[in-house]
Chain A
Amino acid sequence: MIDEMYIRGVEVNYYFVCKTKLWLFSHNVSLEKESDLVKLGKLVHKEFYRKDRKDVRIGPIAIDVVRKGNELEIQEVKKAKSMEKADLFQMLYYLFYLSNLGIPARGRITYPKSREVVNVELDEKRLRDLEEILREIDGLKRGKMPKPVRKKHCRKCAYFEFCFAG
C-alpha cells in the first residue's frame, strides 16, 4: 500500500531524538547493548503490566502492550517523559500502521515511574504530519550517515562515544 511501511516504530522515535542515531540504528550499527539507561528502560518494560500481552510483533512494528476489550488498546511504556513528541509520533505510527491493516485501535503512552498516562488519537492533521515524517525517514535511511551534531542529551546517549571520540 505504501512503501514507508517497512519503517520500525523506534525509528520514528529516533527521528525526533537524533537523525544520526536513526541512521546508525537502521543500518544495524547498534550500540545500546552496554548502556545502563537502555537496560533500565528494558527493565521498566519488563516489570510493568505483567498481566498483559506484551511485545506483539506485526511486520516491522513491535507493540509494548496490547489489551483487547470492545476496542483494541495498544500501549507504549516509557521510562521517562523527556522525549514526548518522539513518543507521541511513535504511537501515532502504530495507530496508522494498524489502521492501514483495517484494525482500529486506541493508543496510550504510559510512564509508570511518574504514573502518567497520555491518550493518543490519530486525527487528520497528525496523519498529514506523520506521512511527511515517514517520507523523510525513508530518505534519511537511504542517504549517507548524517554527521553527528552535539546536543545536550548526547552525553546520556549510548552513541555518545561513537559520535564524538574524534
Chain B
Amino acid sequence: MRKRNFYIVSDGKLRRKENTIYFENAEGKRPIPINSIYSIYALGSLTITSQALNYLAREGICVHFFNRYGYYTGSFYPRESLISGDVVVKQAEHYLDREKRLYLAKAFVEGSIMNMARVLRRNGEDDTGVISALQGLENSESVEEVMGAEATARTEYYSKFDSMLSGMKFEKRSRQPPENEVNAMISFGNSLLYSAVLTEIYHTQLHPAVSYLHEPSERRFSLSLDLAEIFKPLLVDRLVISLVNKKMVGEGDFDEDFKGVLLSEKGRKKFLKAFNERLERTVKHRTLGRNVSYQRLIRLECYKLVKHILGVEKYRPFVMWW
C-alpha cells in the first residue's frame, strides 16, 4: 500500500481500534489504514488516545501539530528506532570542528542560493544579484558570515517577488505576523516544509538536533531548519508563486485581524492540497535513473549528509536540475 501524508483539518479524535486508526467526529468515523500513513499533520483541534499514539510510534509515524493560526507548535517524534552511534558521533564531530562545520553551513546556503536563482530564471527574472551573493558566501570565514551571505541573497531574491507575482502584493518579507497574503502563505509553507524535513530525518540515523547552519541550541530540531533552506525555493516559493499567478487563492482564503494576515480554514485546505501535490510530484533522478518524489529528494539529501559525515563522499547540495 502506498503511504501518504494525512492532513487533519477538522476537529475530531484519533483512536486505535484493533489494527486500524480511526478519525472520528460529529460527521462520523473514517478508518485510516496504518499501512497507508506516512505522516500526519494535525491542523484542527485533535484529540489522540494514548493507544493511537503508541500504535503510531510502533509504526514509526510522526505527527506534526499546528495551532489554530496555522503556526507549527511541535511534533510527536516517536522513539528512535534507527540508531547508529557511529553516525551521531561523526555528526557531532562535524559540528565541533570549525572547518567541517563551515563546509556544511556553506553547502546548505549554496544550495539555497542556487535554487533561489533557479526560481528567478524560470520566472524570467534576472538572477545576477542573487548569484553574486555566492562570492560573499565563498569568502565567509564564520557561520555568522555565511548567514549574512544567505540574508543578502534572500533580500535580493525577495526584491524580485513583486514583478513575478500578478494580482497580489508581496512588498517585503514579514512574519509573526505576516502582513499580507503572500507572506501568510510563505510562513505556512515554511512550517509545513520544516515538518516534512523532520519526518525524513526521523527515517535516517541522523540526529535532528545536531545542525550546522543554525545553532543546535536555537531550536530543538535545528537540522530540519538547515535542510529546509535548500528546499524552500522548490517546495514553498514556487508553490506560492503559482497559486497567486493562477489565481487559485483569493477572496475568502485569508483572515485579517490584529494578528496580521493568515490563511483562513478554506485557504489552508487549498494550500495543504497544493503543498501535498507538490511533495508527491516526481522527477526523474539523474544518477538513480528512476522517478523520485520531491519529498523523497529530502530523504536523499539526508543520505548524502550521512555519507559525507562518514567520509565516503563529499556533500554537494541539491540544486534543481529542471
Interface, chain A (partner B; CB < 8 A): 27-30, 33-34, 144-145, 147-148, 155, 160-162, 164-166
- B70 at the A/B interface (Cβ < 8 Å)? no
* Among listed B15-23, B121-129, B307-315, interface-contacting one: B307-315
Q: A166's contact among B82, B306, B316, by CB below 8 Å, is which? A: B316
Give every chain A residue within 8 A of B316 (Cβ-Cβ): 166
Given contacts A162-B306, A166-B300, contact A147 B287 (CB under 8 A): no
Given contacts A27-B84, A30-B82, contact A162 B203 (CB under 8 A): no
- B303 at the A/B interface (Cβ < 8 Å)? yes
- B13 at the A/B interface (Cβ < 8 Å)? no
- B285 at the A/B interface (Cβ < 8 Å)? yes
Q: Smallest Cβ distance from B293 to chain A, in angstroms?
A: 12
Q: A162's contact among B85, B296, B303, by CB below 8 Å, is which? A: B303
Q: A33's contact among B60, B85, B307, by CB below 8 Å, is which? A: B60
Interface, chain B (partner A; CB < 8 A): 60, 81-87, 203, 205, 285, 287-288, 290, 292, 296, 299-300, 303-304, 306-307, 310-313, 316
- A sample of 18 inter-chain contacts (CB < 8 A) reads A27-B87, A28-B82, A28-B84, A28-B87, A29-B86, A29-B87, A29-B205, A29-B310, A34-B203, A144-B310, A145-B312, A160-B288, A161-B300, A161-B303, A164-B288, A165-B300, A165-B303, A166-B300
Give every chain B residue within 8 A of A145 (Cβ-Cβ): 307, 310-312
Are B82 and A165 touching (Cβ within 8 A)? Answer: no
Give every chain A residue within 8 A of B87 (Cβ-Cβ): 27-29
Q: What's the dominant secondary structure at chain A's contact region? A: loop
Q: Smallest Cβ distance from B201 to chain A, in angstroms?
A: 14
Q: B306's contact among A29, A33, A147, A155, by CB below 8 Å, is which? A: A29
Are B312 and A165 touching (Cβ within 8 A)? Answer: no
Smallest CB gap from A144: residue in B: B311
Smallest CB gap from A30: residue in B: B82
A129 CA to B82 CA in the complex, in Å? 33
How many pairs of A and B residues are in contact by the CB < 8 Å rule?
A: 56
Smallest CB gap from B300: residue in A: A165
Q: B288's contact among A28, A144, A161, by CB below 8 Å, is which? A: A161
Q: Smallest Cβ distance from B199 to chain A, in angstroms?
A: 13
A161 CA to B203 CA in the complex, in Å? 13
Q: Given contacts A28-B85, A33-B60, A145-B311, list 18 more A-B pairs with CB under 8 A.
A: A27-B84, A27-B86, A27-B87, A28-B82, A29-B87, A29-B205, A33-B203, A144-B311, A144-B312, A145-B310, A148-B312, A160-B288, A162-B306, A164-B288, A165-B285, A165-B303, A166-B287, A166-B304
Q: Smallest Cβ distance from B233 to chain A, in angstroms?
A: 18
Give every chain A residue within 8 A of B303 (Cβ-Cβ): 161-162, 165
Give every chain B residue within 8 A of A160 (Cβ-Cβ): 288
A147 CA to B314 CA in the complex, in Å? 12
Q: Which of A28, A33, A160 has the most CB of B within 10 A?
A: A28
Are B287 and A165 touching (Cβ within 8 A)? Answer: yes
A73 CA to B72 CA in the complex, in Å? 57
